[in-house]
Chains A and B, each alone.
Chain A
Amino acid sequence: MELYRLTAAELSRMMQKKEVSSVEVTRSVFDRIAKKEPEIEAYITLNEENALKKAAEVDEKRAKGESLSSLAGIPVGIKDNICVKGLPTTCASKMLANFVPPYNATVIEKLNASDCVYTGKLNMDEFAMGSSTETSFFKKTKNPFDTSRVPGGSSGGSAAAVASGEAIVALGSDTGGSIRQPASFCGVVGLKPTYGSVSRFGLVAFASSLDQIGPFGRSVEDVAMLYSAICGKDSYDTTTVRREYPRFEEKLTGQVSGLKIGIPDVYFGQGVSNEVREKVMEAAHRYEQMGATLVPVTLPNTDYALAAYYIIACAEASSNLARFDGVKYGYRTSNYSNLEEMYENTRSEGFGDEVKRRIMLGTYVLSSGYYDAYYKKAKFTQKLMQGMFHEAFQKADVILCPTAPDTAFTFGANSDDQVKMYMNDILTVTVNITGLPAISFPCGFDGKGLPIGCQLIGDKFSEQQLLSTAFAYEKAAGGFDLSRTLD
């Protein structure tokens, strides 16, 4: 058995029993990268030398009998918008192509404390703006199930690397579905945590009130392990919440007996393909067979959600991306004669088309005369939607629906029609604007052999419930089938 095929939990147990070393595991993953990367192109930067050095250190600590975390020595891939000191953090943009952060994101400090090994920095849509990873300045990551198709986005590199064995687990970020949709497209598990449960310090900001870092894995247990390691209050992110976070991987009961699962009709309706609808309903019925009850719930209209999401996200993006001015870091144009021209040319040459569109939309909705009609209205729509979810959670413990309306599409299929591309997010954005947690796990394949994702949405800080419910499905299904992408 090749080591890269195993889950973090399996590898962790083997390393604890000294059956394998971290160097062997890390070597196996880099051999896999050497083999698959030319085809998949998941990484922007590889970190092989440092990774093997770190792995050797972990092995030494273990040999000395030091007590180590369950993630010690596990190769983890990092989305390229999360700062790792000394490693380029590009956000897949020309603007940050040469940026090397002088500090670590809080999640990286936490993973350092867990003795994780970093494989490298993973490809994404430029500044996390996109649903296919096609807007990356550097490369197009391929879907490991079918290389003529996109891996989803914006965390497409993270999902593709985990699915193809080029990383054991990975971190991504989710502003409107950027963890869950690529997890769905690539047949892996992805968790978007409750807003405020994971520090955003060191995550390059896109929409600060919506962004959350979260884990990818090939099993629910792996996602739980990685989430346990990164969550918690951080004084460097005032929006993080102080509370007790358990070791989630120890709380996976797999029991759903008596659980009330909400089924929102509107999320199975218009725009959702028949195959996706059928497979996700099959997952719901499987829960029913395990003793759960399905109850109908009413959720906000998806059109409203998408509109409010794009207004809020782009408004915040236009402010956050104002910092890229060619002065303190990042790209600077060589073509200017005064300060104003330097700003304009730096930004026009440094940003790609999708980023410019979103900056322009954000500037528009915040500009004088339009603020009330767009931004303010979107914020009230957000409040309305929070109220609707609150009511839904009076009737249901978790809500089940598809993660994405369809399976992975081909390259270029949506590139010329932004609105069509944005429609990919109709089932994921509500979770971000309401601040709720949600998990996507694989629930079967369509006729073309492409994975379908089932999404579970929970009330704030109900990650334990979500992970345990997803774990129950995984157990009943006998695991998630990645034999085609790991061979």
Chain B
Amino acid sequence: MEMDIKRLAKLAKLKFTPEEEEKYAAQMANIVAMVEKLPDLDASGPLIDPDNPMEFRHDEVEKKYSRDELLANAPEVQAGCVVVPKTVAE
């Protein structure tokens, strides 16, 4: 099993140095060898749990939080908004 560490890292929004890539490739190969031990099953049919239907809430605001409280954890805030790097090109 060949794992494309670079591609997976990109998908997972992670970055590795070449040394880390090598280390991860070796470790991931061992882990994948472990998780490959699955029985051969007829993988078809439904997977839902009919005994446990989910109950949804009405779409109404219940808990109330202040904007300032919620933004207190954001790394950068300006005028009540979170700040991120520019996302559109000039």
Q: Which residues of A contact B (CB under 8 A)?
A: 98-100, 102-103, 196, 235-236, 238-239, 241-242, 301, 303-304, 306-308, 310-311, 318, 322, 325-332, 336-340, 342-345, 347-348, 351, 356-357, 359-361, 363-365, 367, 372, 374, 376-381, 383-384, 417-419, 422
Interface residues of B (CB under 8 A from A): 3, 5, 8-9, 11-16, 24, 27-28, 30-39, 41-43, 47, 52, 54-57, 63, 65, 69-70, 72-76, 82, 84-87
Residues of chain B within 8 A (CB-CB) of A310 are 31, 34-35
Residues on A with C-beta less than 8 A from B37 are 303-304, 306-307
Determine whether the beta carbon of B75 is less than 8 Å from that of A304: no
| Set B30, B63, B70, B82: member contacting A419, Cβ < 8 A | B30
Residue on A with the closest CB to B87?
A339
Q: Is the CB of B28 within 8 A of A364?
A: yes
Q: How far is the CA of A100 from the CA of B71 in the complex (A)?
A: 11
Closest to A420 in B: B30
4 further interface pairs, Cβ-Cβ under 8 Å (given A347-B12, A356-B12, A380-B47): A99-B73, A311-B35, A381-B39, A419-B31
Are the CB atoms of B15 and A344 closer together than 8 Å?
yes
- Interface pairs (27), CB distance under 8 Å: A98-B73, A100-B72, A100-B73, A304-B38, A306-B37, A307-B34, A308-B38, A311-B35, A322-B13, A326-B75, A327-B75, A332-B75, A344-B14, A347-B12, A351-B14, A356-B24, A360-B8, A360-B9, A360-B24, A363-B12, A367-B11, A378-B38, A384-B39, A419-B31, A419-B33, A422-B31, A422-B34
Tell me, in angstroms, the Cα distance from A259 to B52 when the chains sit together. Answer: 28
Say yes or no: A363 contacts B47, CB within 8 Å: no
CA A340 to CA B54, docked complex, whole Å: 37
Expressed in whole angstroms, the minimum distance between the Cβ of B78 and any Cβ of chain A is 13
Contact count A vs B, C-beta below 8 Å:
143
B71 → A minimal CB distance (Å): 8
Q: Is the CB of B43 within 8 A of A102?
A: no
Of the candidates B11, B16, B74, the one whose C-beta lies within 8 Å of that of A328 is B74
Q: Which residues of A contact B35 (CB under 8 A)?
A: 307, 310-311, 361, 365, 374, 378
Specify which chain A residues have a CB less than 8 angstroms from the CB of B24 in the assembled complex: 356-357, 360
Q: How far is the CB of B61 from chain A (nearest CB, A)?
A: 13
Taking a contact as CB atoms under 8 Å apart, the answer to whether A325 and B13 are in contact is yes
A374 closest partner in B (C-beta): B35
Q: When the two chains form their complex, are residues A307 and B36 in contact, meaning their CB atoms are under 8 A apart?
A: yes
Determine whether the beta carbon of A418 is less than 8 Å from that of B30: yes
The winner among A100, A342, A364 for most chain B CB atoms within 10 A is: A364
